[in-house]
Amino acid sequence: MRITDLLSEKTVSIGVKASSKEDVIKQAVALISKSGAIGDVAVYEKGVFKREEESTTGIGEGIAIPHCKNDCVTKPALAAMVIPGGVEYEALDGEPVQLLFLIAAPNSEDNVHLDVLARLSEMLMDEEFKNKLVAATDVKAFRQVIDDAEKEKLGEEETVEGFPRVLAVTACPTGIAHTYMAEQALKDKAKELGISIKVETRGSGGAKNVLTDEEIEHCEGVVVAADVNVDVDRFAGKRVVQVQVAKGIHEPERLIKEALDPNTPIYKAGEARQTSDSKGKESLGHQIYKHLMSGVSHMLPFVIGGGILIALAFLIDTIAGNAGSASFGSVNGAAAWFKTVGGYAFGFMVWVLAGFIAFSIAGRPGLAVGMVGGFIATQTNFNILATIQGASYALQANAGFLGGIVAGFLGGYVVLLLGKAFSRLPKNLDSLKPMLIYPIIGVLIEAGVMYLINTPLIYINIGFSNMLTWMGGHPALLIVLCALLGLMMATDMGGPINKAAYVFGTAMLASQTVEGYIIMAAVMAGGMVPPLGIALSANLFPQKYSKKERGEAAVNYVMGAAFITEGAIPFAAADPWRVIVSCIGGSAVAGLLTGLFKCQLLAPHGGVFVFATIQPLYNIPLYLLSVVAGSFVTAILLGILKKDHPTPELGKWTGIRFGKKK
């Protein structure tokens, strides 16, 4: 904890006049009461005078540091006074006091007042530092002197000890962009504030820069900016701030300061934590979203890996001239091998989704229960008889993706209920719960319930599939759906709406139907447009951006081409409604055009790098046209809606302008 964390502008007074020691202490108590940290001012004042009776806090050299630790203090606080004319204080050296610091500390075990007292005493031994404080002309200058000196001192200490003050963990469902954008935002802001920080990232490549036990032990606070479950029990005993990953990108300063704030609650292992955005518990909606996204984040590697392998199978068969075959994708030997392996990866998709939703809810004991439920969701209770053109067929059907979601939540909450049910067992049986009781009883309950609800879920799944097939027979409706999905991809650029559209697209891709491939094409086109449109806008309308922004926008050509929508986030954060409206317009156009052209995309990720998997192959130029058209719509809308930047630092190219040049 730093001195400047406790010393607010309200609790500093310059140019104080006092007639006696009693008078100056009473003025200091009144000053520190403005911090809101004193529950009973009279009790606190009595405590300060009682401390003075033990021995004077006038340490000499014109300095006094009175202090009191009492139950009436709700949080640590500090007041400071400059008394230019001095006041008699019974100091150790008999000299008048010109500089007084009053410390208020709650009656807790951490003895924060002793830490602050020790640091203050050490810093005040520096004659130059003390003189600067006495000479400060206003409150802001006074606090700046302390801030500068403390940064220099603690910076040296941190270099020697090697432990950062703040630790952070960032994670998002896909682990591609938000994770690293939040990391960078926190690092940049910490550097600006002069606060040391270490950030652990949990991205698509696994955990990087992992926090050590020693670093956790020595840190002052922790920020967890994540949309998936992160193990926070390792931070027990520390101040922990938990928020969505987007907050890490947009509000890094608030989060860092909150992690260092003495009022931030200490985390206890196993407790249900609230986010810093809510006065109560974390909302049910965000809990559900977080658990679902935890499952999706673990599922995506199976979808992406399997989907691209299957797409390559179709590509190989197309090149081999087998596009019209009834066994398209499996005719050529190499194609058949790719499709088989990709099918294996796809086969795990629902199991993994269900397992890690349950894991997010109940930890490791939930994994097996949820995964078994996910497997049951991919099975069928019976053959469904269907009549097609007068003939009866037995169709194999299952609850699929929807069933996997239900199985995951069911498995997680079943294990939580079992935990409560068996909470009274003797402690020496605790080790048996996750290894024996939860798996056996949990799997039995999960299997029984899933067997009962699997049948209605199967019919819902079939109904949904039939609806998409019906929409395929009504092209106008399918085109509207494609436009809507494109629009959703640009609405919050990696947030819940974007993720909902993407998860829907990957689920349709897994159905391996023409309609599903068209939907996936619209989703990817809609996600590529926002960064591409912003980059294009910076080239066409440079007067709308600063020189720095134009440099940053150029990177979005790569981000957009790789289907990383999040590249648009910094620009949306700086000018929300203009940028978001423009991106929505362009993405909706891109989605609409891909639906109109009936472009089929067989891969779930990769942007331009998987354009070769578009079917039919002659639609590749049309798909490219859709993305380019959407990008131009976004760029033009930005050119119309955005205001000119006051200092664009333009070169010879001054950009396209609508209307008369000002």
Question: Which phi and psi (to 5°) does residue 83 adopt?
Answer: -115, 90
Kindly state the tokens that stand for 638: 């930005």
Sequence letter at residue 216: I
Residue 386's pLDDT band (boundaries 50, 70, 90)? very low
Who has greater pLDDT, 213 or 173?
A: 213
Q: 409, 355 in Cβ contact below 8 A?
A: no
Instruction: Give the amino acid at 91.
Output: A
482 is catalytic: no
Distance CA 340, CA 329 (A): 10
Question: Where is average pLDDT lowest: 172-186, 541-555, 626-640?
Answer: 172-186
Q: Which of 106, 133, 136 is nearest to 44 (CA)?
A: 106
pLDDT at 9: 86
As a residue count, the chain comes to 662
pLDDT at residue 394 greater than cutoff 50:
no
Q: What is the pLDDT of residue 109?
A: 61
The pLDDT > 90 percentage for the chain reads 31
* pLDDT value at 182 more than 90: no
Which of 158-162, 170-174, 175-179, 262-266 is predicted most confidently?
Answer: 262-266
Query: How many other CB atoms sit within 10 Å of the CB of residue 123?
Result: 17
| Stronger pLDDT, 553 or 124, i.e. the higher one | 553
Q: Which of 263-272, 283-292, 359-368 has the highest mean pLDDT?
A: 359-368
> Which is more confidently placed, 358 or 605?
358
Q: Which CATH class is domain 3-160?
A: alpha beta
82-91, 152-161, 238-247: least confidently modelled range? 152-161
One of 3.30.420.40, 3.65.10.10, 3.90.1150.10, 3.40.50.2300 is the CATH number of 163-282, namely: 3.40.50.2300
67 is catalytic: yes
Cis peptide upstream of residue 439 (ω within 30 degrees of 0): no
First to last CA, the chain: 52
Give the pLDDT of residue 272. 44
Query: Are the CB atoms for 31 and 13 separated by under 8 Å?
Result: yes
Lookup result for tokens 């403390």:
150
Has residue 324 got a pLDDT over 70?
no
Is the pLDDT at 583 greater than 80? The verdict is yes
Count the Cβ atoms, other than its own, within 10 Å of residue 620: 15
Q: For the beta carbon of residue 428, count every other beta carbon within 10 angstroms.
A: 7
pLDDT at 111 over 60: no
Structure confidence at residue 593 (pLDDT): 97
User: Could you give the percent of the chain with pLDDT greater than 70?
Assistant: 87
Give the mean pLDDT of 524-533: 95
Helices (H), 125-211: 127-135, 139-161, 178-193
Backbone angles phi, psi at 344, to 5 degrees: -60, -45
State mean pLDDT over 341-355: 88
Between the alpha carbon of residue 564 and those of residues 73, 498, 591, the distances in Å are 50, 12, 16
Integer Cα distance of 458 and 450 in angstroms = 11
Q: pLDDT digits over 59-81, tens only?
A: 888 888 898 888 898 888 889 99
| 391 vs 10, more confident | 10
Question: For the whole prediction, is pTM greater than 0.75?
Answer: no
Rounded Cα distance, 154 and 535, in Å: 42
Q: Give the residue carrying structure tokens 């491939």.
A: 517
Whether 350 has a pLDDT exceeding 80, the answer reads: yes
Give kind and range of the element (H or E) at residue 321: none
Name 395's bridge partners.
Answer: 384
Which of 133-137, 274-278, 460-464 comes out lowest in average pLDDT?
A: 274-278
Residue 622 tokens, joined: 């049309």
pLDDT for 414 equals: 93
Output the six-digit token pair for 290: 């977080």
**76 closest CA partner among 36, 121, 20:** 36
Burial class (CB in 10 A: 0-12, 13-18, 19+), 137: exposed
| Segments of the chain assigned to CATH 3.40.50.2300 | 163-282
Identity at 42, one-letter amino acid code: A
Question: Is pLDDT of 133 > 80?
Answer: yes
Residue 605 DSSP label: S
pLDDT digits 0-9 by tens, 450-502: 888 877 877 777 777 677 667 767 888 999 999 999 999 998 776 678 878 88
From-to residues of CATH 3.40.930.10 in the chain = 3-160
State residue 396's pLDDT score.
53
Read off the pLDDT band of 658 (50, 70, 90).
confident
Query: Using CA atoms, how far apart are residues 629 and 653, in angstroms rounded to an integer?
Result: 23
Residue 160 scores a pLDDT above 60: no
pLDDT of residue 411: 93
Catalytic residue among 68, 72, 113, 172: 172
Q: Give pLDDT, residue 156.
A: 44
Please give the pLDDT value at position 343.
85
515-524 pLDDT per residue, tens: 889 999 999 9
Residue with the two structure tokens 């009504």: 474
Q: Above 70 in pLDDT, residue 205? A: no
**Positions of E strands within 306-352:** none
